[in-house]
Amino acid sequence: MDYGILIAQATINGLIVGLLYLLMAIGFTLVFGVMRMVNFAHGEFYMLGAMAVYVFTVHMELPFLVAVCLSFVVAIVFGSLVEWVVFKPFRHDELNGMIATIGLAMILQNLALIIFGPDPLSVPPVAQGVTQISGVYIPNSRIFVVFFAVLVLALLYFYLKKTRSGRALRAVVEDFKIASIQGISSKVYYPLGFGVGVGLAAIAGALMAPLFSVSPFVGAAPLLKAFMVVILGGLGSIPGAAVAGLALGLIESYASLFLSASTADMLIFLVVMIMLVLMPRGILGKGEV
Amino acid sequence: MKLMASKIALGLCAAFIAQGALAQQDTLKIGALVTLSGPGAAWGQAMKNAAELAADKVNAEGGLEVGGKRYKVVVIPYDDKYQANEAVTVANRMIHEDKIKYVIGPLGSAPALAVQPLTEKNGVITMTMGFTPRALSPEKPYSFRAVVTTAEFSQPQIDWVVKKEGIKKVGGLFPNDESGQAIAKDLQSSYSKAGADLTSEFFERERVDFVPLLTRLFARGIDAIELDGNSPATAGLIVKQARELGFKGKIIRTGGPATADIVNVAGKQAANGMLVHSVLDPNLPSTKAYMDAYQQKYKAPMNGFSPSFYDATNMMFEAMKRAGTVEDTKKVRDELAKLENFPGSLGVLNWTGKESYGSNQQLDLPFYVAEIKDGQEVILARCNTKGCQ
Amino acid sequence: MAGQNVLSSTQSAGRGGQVVPFILLAVVAAWPFFSGPFVVHLAILTCLNILIVNGLSIIERSGQLSFGHSAFVAIGAYVSVLMTQYWGTGIVVSAIGGIVIAAVVAGVLGAIILRLTGVYFVLVTFAFAELMRLMLLDWAAVTGGANGISGIAPIDLFGFVFDTRGRFYVLAMVVAIASFLFMLRFYRTPIGQAMDAVRENPTLAESTGLGVYRLRLLAFIIGCSLAGFGGVLMARYIGYISPETFNISISVSLITMLVVGGRRSMWGPLVGAVILTPLPELFRGAVQTQHIFYGAALILILRFLPDGLASLPSRLRKLTRSDA
């Protein structure tokens, strides 16, 4: 196999995976930006999204797109509720809030275990077959996912830049003190911020559900990725998360081409640790410290 | 009113007497130390259910009769999460709190090795599924294995497959743990003896995205992918993703029944044409009877390993009968090892393994090479440790 | 303020208040001798956890939350076992080796990462723990990889072999109590008090001549060494170690024990370990319910009793006092 095609294949693989990391990471960094909370339960909301899609498509036989939208709605509502009821006392209490999210993660995962059992469940694929572009193979199901991820990101961008509510949310993320002086109600925006953040995780989970199997355990790996992307991109920086998400996907893809899988994993952790120490503000330098 | 009261009183008396009668019956506890969560749960469930079905059958006959006493058989399951230290904690509890002396499990090689010091010291008979060669030895008289391992079946199977399909280069994907590493090693030598070349890639057991690894393998120009050693769910994902990447070659799984799950995850189309190792022939009446019983009780697809443990449990029962005791595990153990030509659901069973492990503690079972056609296994060849036809 | 709280509550409680917890402790410690082997097993694990969580507590009281504590338990365990395996060293030498290497790694790592604070420190220790686990997994030729190392010989101390559960329990209990007493003594020394004050009162810390950074580093090194020691003992008790024995969920359990037990109190690690170590066994039939309980307990404690269960007596005392 000639190297050009190999690299091209790895690039495409990397970008596709990177897009999904991006979705996870943006939600994660949004939650941190709004509430200064490292959300250890973020992966469980990913799982929630995947499970919701499973229920909607397999048990209620709804079309996939409807299922994804419904999952998003469920996640936003549930997330907002949880923030308002459970996490209110922890706003801006970084460490305690983080530990509280660990508790939430345990509860969510085990509730899912009780309801769905530990076995992996299958969601029917959205598209079959593979597209070939000059020697590079892209599974059609992944093209579908890319399309929708990009759509979601476009909608998010529009929301954050053009709508009043979105701009208010951004203001809270960037500087909550000034935002509250300006009269932006924390009563509304904290739950909303958390809800949107975990909603994005749920969409990532929903989109991935047909690609990989669905089980109560699927949340751990995406959480780890979200951590790494957000560290690389700078905590609280949305553009940083975007760039770092794609970068991580690419780095992983290229690394596993040339190194064994375990070496690639270790290398990435090492890179993350180095970044944290040398550039805590992230690649774009826009993160908070 | 008075009639009502006396009826109630009679009823209560009857209940007390009946309960007393049942209480007279002793219980025999069989422990199921298996993986019930995470990857590998499919196998764990199969093992636990097998023990339960064996217990049900015996209890329906009034209990297991040993040494003149009747025992109600109860299966007590514990989840070891495929982790060795969990297995050790659980084994501690089983042996010291529940006073269990007979265990189905452990499932994985790492848990099996970890609990052996405990089970051997306390004379607890175990029926493991762990593929590692280190699990059996004359120094571990209480450890038995109820499934044939790669060491036994890979050569005959691979010889046959390589010859039939003309395969030269194989890429293998294995989990990075005791089972995966042991299997990769066995397969490597089998393939090279058969004239083909196997390169192995290892990954974290929890991994779900295999596209980068597959891309790496395809770069080497492989004819076939080897999937033995992977949990059923993982294997399904690999098959799905390989086909999605446009791989047209053969996919082989030289071991570890997983067909139902692979078809479930990958879909019938992707799984078509896969060459798998099968441990059962559904046309054999005794096997079919077991499969029907399983389907009736659990209403879920049965993993191919289940009948082996059904037979293993029954063999333990038979050994207890012959030894005349359930308490003296040394006697039971000796009777167990002496069993010959035992009629099991999979056929006629014997112990083997002296050459490889030093003593006969490995169950000798027939096996088959099958192809997946439209979601079902179709047997292409029948095999034993000597060869396939 | 934090240090002062603990001191004043024990002082104001008077002699009576000080004795009661110790009596309770004696009862709890003696109980396993009258129960079955499984209870002793749990007691041993609890004692080892007390040691390890005390280490975590030292780090936490200097203002940093370490999410990688399990990695140092792993270092202690693996180094001591490998020393015996390759060089045939006895328990004393291998234990020292395990603890020293844990301390050295902590020192080097700490020197680099202690400039970070808060969540960043948490994340980097998290990354470190994962890195350690992957390294142990990958370096199979030395560490045994995923198979782990089995058949680890019990402790043989000058001819006295700790191969029965009862004997090991005595050892574990002695070690746990020693670590508790160490904590009591240490936080009365000037350095200890400075460390305690680092979080709340940096100027007090500076007054000892050691900067905040240096105090944190010292705390990190001591805390991780205790963890390493715990690892050395754990390996000899269970007889088997593998990279999975030291994964992230262990770090999470340790933090849970510390938080639920109480981060501001000497008794915190003790209470947390005693309550949370045996709890999984009570729930063994219903693992999921157990974890839901853990999660809920964590959130409730954080919300209503942020100083953990160990602060319960003083809280109750304050309530009754305010009535009068």
Question: Which pLDDT score is estimated for C1?
Answer: 39
Question: Which pLDDT score is estimated for B213?
Answer: 84
Q: What is the mean pLDDT of residues C222-235?
A: 94
Q: Which residues of A touch C283 (CB under 8 A)?
A: none
Q: What is the mean pLDDT of residues C190-196?
A: 83
Tell me how far CA of residue A78 lies from CA of A42, A45, A48, A83, A240, in angstroms: 13, 10, 10, 9, 27
Q: How far is C145 from chain A (nearest CA, A)?
A: 12
Angle in degrees, CA A36, A37, A40, rounded to 5: 160
Q: How far is B220 from chain A (nearest CA, A)?
A: 7
CA dist., res. C238 & res. B158, Å (int): 40
Question: Which pLDDT score is estimated for C104?
Answer: 96
- Does B33 or B203 have the greater pLDDT score? B33
CA dist., res. C89 & res. C82, Å (int): 9
CB contact under 8 A, B244 and A130: yes
CA dist., res. B351 & res. B120, Å (int): 19
Question: Which pLDDT score is estimated for B3?
Answer: 53
Out of A25-29, A92-96, C123-127, which region has the weakest mean confidence (pLDDT)? A92-96
- Whether A247 is covered by a domain: the verdict is no
pLDDT at C12 over 60: no
Indicate the pLDDT class of residue B4, thresholds 50, 70 and 90.
low
Predicted complex ipTM: 0.81
CA dist., res. C97 & res. C91, Å (int): 10
Instruction: Calculate helix-pair angle for A220-233, C118-138, nearest 10 degrees.
Output: 120
User: Which structure tokens are listed for A251?
Assistant: 């780095």
Cis ω on the peptide bond leading into residue B307 (within 30° of 0)?
Answer: no
- Whether A147 is covered by a domain: the verdict is yes
Question: Which pLDDT score is estimated for B375?
Answer: 79
CB atoms within 10 A of CB C264: 21
CA dist., res. B323 & res. B319, Å (int): 6
Phi, psi values for residue C283, rounded to 5°:
-95, 5
Secondary structure string (H, E, C) spanning chain A: CCHHHHHHHHHHHHHHHHHHHHHHHHHHHHHHHHHCCCCCCHHHHHHHHHHHHHHHHHHCCCCHHHHHHHHHHHHHHHHHHHHHHHHHHHCCCHHHHHHHHHHHHHHHHHHHHHHHCCCCECCCCCCCCEEEECCEEEEHHHHHHHHHHHHHHHHHHHHHHHCHHHHHHHHHHHCHHHHHHCCCCHHHHHHHHHHHHHHHHHHHHHHHCCCCCECCCCCHHHHHHHHHHHHHHCCCCHHHHHHHHHHHHHHHHHHHHHCCHHHHHHHHHHHHHHHHHHCCCCCCCCCCC
Highest mean pLDDT among B34-38, C189-193, C200-204, C232-236: C232-236
Using DSSP's 3-state secondary structure scheme, residue C166 falls into helix
For residue B83, the chain C residue with the least C-alpha distance is: C244
Condensed to tens digits (0 to 9), the pLDDT of residues C140-158 reads 778 877 667 877 878 878 7
- Nearest to B273, CA basis, from B228, B225, B215: B225
Domain locations in chain C? Answer: 38-247
pLDDT at B29 over 70: yes
Question: Which pLDDT score is estimated for C81?
Answer: 92
Helix ranges (H only) for B67-177 are 84-96, 109-121, 150-165
Indicate the pLDDT class of residue B299, thresholds 50, 70 and 90.
confident
- Specify the amino acid at residue A4: G
Question: Which pLDDT score is estimated for C323?
Answer: 56
Tell me how far CA of residue C18 lies from CA of A125, A180, C9, C14, C267, in angstroms: 65, 47, 10, 6, 12
Choose the closest CB to A106 out of C127, C259, C292. Answer: C292
Highest mean pLDDT among B102-111, B142-151, C220-229, C268-277: C220-229
Question: Which pLDDT score is estimated for C10?
Answer: 44
Tell me how far CA of residue A88 lies from CA of A35, A112, A170, A280, in angstroms: 10, 24, 20, 28
**Chain centroid to CA B253:** 16
Question: The tokens 């209490």 sit on which residue?
Answer: A93
- B129 neighbors B105 (Cβ within 8 angstroms): yes
CB contact under 8 A, B178 and C146: yes
Question: Which pLDDT score is estimated for B73?
Answer: 92
pLDDT at A79 over 90: yes
The set of residues, in sequence order, having a beta carbon less than 8 Å from that of C65 and lying 6+ positions away, is A95, C59, C121, C122, C255
A257 interface with B at CB cutoff 8 Å? yes
Condensed to tens digits (0 to 9), the pLDDT of residues A191-206 reads 888 999 999 999 999 9
Q: Which residues of B touch A224 (CB under 8 A)?
A: none
User: Which structure tokens are listed for B53?
Assistant: 């079905």
Indicate the pLDDT class of residue C6, thresholds 50, 70 and 90.
very low
Q: Based on the structure, what is the number of domains in chain A?
A: 1
- Whether A72 is covered by a domain: the verdict is yes
**Chain centroid to CA C266:** 12
- Whether A24 is covered by a domain: the verdict is yes
- A223 neighbors B243 (Cβ within 8 angstroms): no
The set of residues, in sequence order, having a beta carbon less than 8 Å from that of B140 and lying 6+ positions away, is B116, B120, B361
Condensed to tens digits (0 to 9), the pLDDT of residues C275-307 reads 888 877 666 656 667 778 878 888 888 888 888
Question: Which pLDDT score is estimated for C285?
Answer: 59
Highest mean pLDDT among B127-141, B275-289, C224-238: C224-238
Question: Which pLDDT score is estimated for C168?
Answer: 87
B185 interface with C at CB cutoff 8 Å? no
Instruction: State chain A's maximal CA–CA distance in angstroms.
Output: 61
Highest mean pLDDT among A173-182, B46-55, B153-162, B238-247: B46-55
Question: Which pLDDT score is estimated for C7?
Answer: 43
**Running DSSP on this structure, what letter comes out for residue B105?**
B
Choose the closest CB to A130 out of B208, B218, B245. Answer: B245
Question: Which pLDDT score is estimated for C226?
Answer: 95
Question: Which pLDDT score is estimated for C217?
Answer: 92
- Whether A8 is covered by a domain: the verdict is yes
User: Which structure tokens are listed for B167?
Assistant: 């395969």
CA dist., res. C234 & res. C155, Å (int): 11
Condensed to tens digits (0 to 9), the pLDDT of residues C37-83 reads 778 888 888 999 999 999 999 999 888 889 999 999 999 999 999 99
CB atoms within 10 A of CB B40: 26
Candidates B216, B272, B298: best to mutate against A (most CBs of A within 10 A) is: B216
Burial of residue C80 (number of CB atoms within 10 Å: 0-12, 13-18, 19+): buried
Q: What is the tally of helices (H) and strands (E) in chain B?
A: 14, 17
Q: What is the mean pLDDT of residues A18-36?
A: 86
CA dist., res. A41 & res. A112, Å (int): 13
Question: Which pLDDT score is estimated for C100?
Answer: 95
pLDDT at C11 over 60: no
Q: What is the mean pLDDT of residues C98-112?
A: 93
pLDDT at C108 over 90: yes
CA dist., res. B198 & res. A38, Å (int): 45
Which structural domain range is residue A95 located in? 3-219
CA dist., res. A246 & res. A16, Å (int): 8
Candidates B176, B207, B209, B247: best to mutate against A (most CBs of A within 10 A) is: B209
CA dist., res. B275 & res. B380, Å (int): 9
pLDDT at B373 over 50: yes
**Running DSSP on this structure, what letter comes out for residue C60?**
H
Q: Which residues of B touch A47 (CB under 8 A)?
A: none
User: How confident is the prediction for chain C on average, in pLDDT?
Assistant: 82
pLDDT at A288 over 70: no
Q: Which residues of C touch B (CB under 8 A)?
A: 36-38, 41, 137-138, 140, 145-148, 150-151, 238-240, 242, 244-245, 281, 284, 287
- C226 neighbors C54 (Cβ within 8 angstroms): yes
Give bridge partners of residue B343 from the DSSP assignment: B348
Phi, psi values for residue B105, rounded to 5°:
120, -175
- B176 neighbors C145 (Cβ within 8 angstroms): yes
- Nearest to C272, CA basis, from C293, C250, C253: C253
CA dist., res. C274 & res. C291, Å (int): 17
Question: Which pLDDT score is estimated for B38?
Answer: 67
CA dist., res. B131 & res. B149, Å (int): 6
Percentage of chain C surpassing pLDDT 70?
87
With contact defined as 3+ CB pairs under 8 Å, the chains touching A are: B, C
- Specify the amino acid at residue B364: D
Give bridge partners of residue B376 from the DSSP assignment: B373
Condensed to tens digits (0 to 9), the pLDDT of residues B81-124 reads 777 777 888 888 888 888 999 999 898 888 888 888 889 989 99
Question: Which pLDDT score is estimated for B13?
Answer: 47
- Whether A141 is covered by a domain: the verdict is yes
Indicate the pLDDT class of residue A213, thresholds 50, 70 and 90.
confident
User: Which structure tokens are listed for C96?
Assistant: 């020292």
- Nearest to B74, CA basis, from B89, B95, B45, B54: B54
Question: The tokens 């006092």 sit on which residue?
Answer: C321
- Whether A116 is covered by a domain: the verdict is yes
- A210 neighbors A126 (Cβ within 8 angstroms): yes
